[in-house]
Amino acid sequence: MGLFNWFTQEIAMDLGTANTLIIHNDEVAVNEPSIVALNRNNPKEVLAVGKRALMMHEKTHESIRTVRPLKDGVIADFNAAELMIRELIKLVYPKKPLFPPSWRMMICIPSSITEVEKRAVRDSAEQAGAKEVYLIHEPMAAALGIGIDVEEPVGNMIIDIGGGTTGITVIALAGIVCDQSIRIAGDEFTADIMEALRRYHSLLIGERTAEQIKIQVGAAMKDLENPPDDIPVNGRDLVTGIPKQIMVSFQEIAEALDKSIFKIEEAILKALEQTPPELAGDIYRRGLYLTGGGALLRGLDKRLSQKIKLPVHIADDPLKSVVRGTGIALKNYDRYPFVMR
């Protein structure tokens, strides 16, 4: 057993719709977009993965295709997911080791996932070379990563705005008490921005440009304390068909995202309605915790706390809190009852 342990390496993985993060030896070893570029003539041949594949996205010719294997937080393309996981694990060890280690892997999954989807995650990890696969629900991992003591009898509300789904979860006693999941998150925000520019400026832009706009001037409110500058956006004019450039301000983006953020607010209110009264009292005292990439949207915490009239805290590093929590759970995988074997 001792020899086997020596060859067993542990990795914690946050397999997200937009980004995949891997923790190995307590540090984030891989932080890449969840996208893979494949050769159309030989679908098993990976041309690029992560940032390099993202640079190819929407710029390919007919013999290359770029795939985002995850949709709405679950695996949509099984083969691409397996190839992507395998390539990303290779990035943990840039130099090829003499004896390839056997992996003990912990992967976090959305709490609204079905058994079939759970099986798909487990199978792709095993196909990619994992000997043992443990699963953990994302809100649990997020709570551990934020630094909440999940085992105490106190209610905490975690709002995880990812790429494909927004999960709103109340956690107490190391379990999930109630849970709302809606498919409105980062991808939906990106689509809203593309639609708004098409409608108001008759400008066609791609997914990557919309994503850049969201990162640089994305906002949830029209009045921010320190607003970002307007940015130039290039695209194709729908009327003339000629490439053109326009300036985009954060107010326009705030207006474009308004409907989607409103739906997130509704879901939070719905989750609060289902919360048992004792836990609701705890949440009133402690406030809500925002995590995931969507938490970086400017003014979102302020807008939510105005609507719900409770304090809203953003996690320290919202993009990495889930994978950090997964790493903590992997270290103590036999201690925590919520880890799925």
Instruction: Report the number of distinct structural domains present in the chain.
Output: 2
Instruction: Supply the pLDDT for residue 235.
Output: 97
d(CA 15, CA 130): 14
d(CA 129, CA 104): 9
Note whether 209 and 308 are same-domain residues: no
- Residues whose CB is less than 8 angstroms from the CB of residue 263 and which lie 6 or more positions away in sequence, other chains included: 182, 184
Please state the rounded mean pLDDT for residues 104-117.
91
d(CA 272, CA 276): 9
CATH number where 166 lies: 3.30.420.40
Q: Give all strands of the β-sheet with 46-49 in edge-to-edge order.
A: 46-49, 36-39, 64-67
Specify the pTM.
Answer: 0.92
Query: Does residue 53 fall inside a structural domain?
Result: no
CB 165 within 8 A of CB 289: no
Region of poorest pLDDT, from 71-75, 94-98, 156-160, 260-264? 94-98
* Dihedral in degrees, nearest 10, Cα atoms 34, 142, 184, 114: 80
Q: What is the 3-state secondary structure (H, E, C) of 291-308?
A: ECHHHHCECHHHHHHHHH
d(CA 283, CA 332): 27
Please state the rounded mean pLDDT for residues 57-73.
93
CATH number where 245 lies: 3.90.640.10
CB 314 within 8 A of CB 301: yes
What confidence tens digit (pLDDT) does each residue in 142-162 have? 999 999 999 999 999 999 999
Which element (helix H / strand E) includes 130? Answer: strand 130-137
What confidence tens digit (pLDDT) does each residue in 284-340 have? 999 999 999 999 999 999 999 999 999 999 999 999 999 999 999 999 988 888 888
Note whether 230 and 178 are same-domain residues: no
Query: Does residue 266 fall inside a structural domain?
Result: yes
Note whether 170 and 276 are same-domain residues: yes
CB 298 within 8 A of CB 214: no
What confidence tens digit (pLDDT) does each residue in 180-203 have? 999 999 999 999 999 999 999 999
In a 13 Å sphere around the CA of 337, the CA atoms on its Cβ side amount to 7
In a 13 Å sphere around the CA of 163, the CA atoms on its Cβ side amount to 21
Note whether 170 and 207 are same-domain residues: no
Instruction: Supply the pLDDT for residue 4.
Output: 54
Query: Does residue 234 fall inside a structural domain?
Result: yes
Which amino acids are annotated as binding site, given as ranges?
A: 17-19, 163-165, 211-214, 293-296
Instruction: Supply the pLDDT for residue 3.
Output: 54
Query: Does residue 69 fall inside a structural domain?
Result: no
pLDDT band at 70 (very low <50, low <70, confident <90, very high): very high
Note whether 206 and 307 are same-domain residues: no
Backbone angles phi, psi at 227, to 5 degrees: -70, 145
Query: Does residue 85 fall inside a structural domain?
Result: no
Residue 119 reports pLDDT greater than 70: yes
CB 214 within 8 A of CB 193: yes
Instruction: Supply the pLDDT for residue 5.
Output: 63
Instruction: Supply the pLDDT for residue 305.
Output: 95
Query: Does residue 304 fall inside a structural domain?
Result: yes
Between residues 334 and 205, which one has the greater pLDDT? 205
Note whether 197 and 238 are same-domain residues: yes
Query: Does residue 17 fall inside a structural domain?
Result: no
Domain containing 177: what range? Answer: 152-183+260-314
Which amino acids are annotated as binding site for ATP, given as ranges?
A: 17-19, 163-165, 211-214, 293-296
d(CA 158, CA 291): 7
Backbone angles phi, psi at 192, to 5 degrees: -60, -40
